Amino acid sequence: MRKTIMAERGPVPAGPYSHAVVSGGFVFISGQGPVDPEKGGAPDAFTEQVRQCFKNIETILEASGSGLDQVVKVNAYLTDLTRFSEFNEVYREFFQNDPPARTTVGADLLGILVEVDCIAAVRDSG
């Protein structure tokens, strides 16, 4: 069974996609940029953009019946790979223990410095 998720408190998608899809006991989160859903724009600083991406993911995970502690795989896209260590500093704030598997690649992003997507297990509702 497949269920699409649009988190009420999440950022407005930049295109024709759902925030997430739940299927087979997992939630697949679409790539999230650093747009603050309350303010409508993205922060200027790289580390704040990374932090906002993970806040957006956290919001969508909660709406999907999951959470950051259930994330099994993260894909991160950076416009500047020389900022890898800065990314890691913020990443550790969200994944302090037993971090998920991760891939980080350089990407040509339009108007943002970072984008992140992930896969997480859905919490057992029983």
CATH of the domain at 96: 3.30.1330.40
> Given this model, what pLDDT does residue 14 score?
87
Residue 97, domain member (yes or no): yes
Residue 40 Rama label (left phi>0; alpha psi -120 to 50; beta): left
Range of the domain at 69: 2-121
Predicted TM-score (pTM) of the model is 0.95
Q: What is the pLDDT of residues 79-126, one digit of tens each?
A: 999 999 999 999 999 999 999 999 999 999 999 999 999 999 998 754
Q: Is residue 41 part of a domain?
A: yes
The total number of structural domains that make up the chain: 1
DSSP assignment of 37-96 equals TTTSS--SSHHHHHHHHHHHHHHHHHHTT--GGGEEEEEEEES-GGGHHHHHHHHHHH--
Q: Which residue has the tokens 């919001």?
A: 59
Among the listed residues 95, 50, 43, the one whose alpha carbon sits nearest the alpha carbon of residue 77: 50
Query: Is residue 126 domain-resident?
Result: no
Q: Judge whether 75 lies within some domain.
A: yes
Supply 92's token pair. Answer: 């550790």
d(CA 115, CA 111): 11
| Digit-coded pLDDT (tens) for 3-16 | 999 999 999 998 99
Which backbone phi and psi does 89 adopt, to 5 degrees?
-60, -45
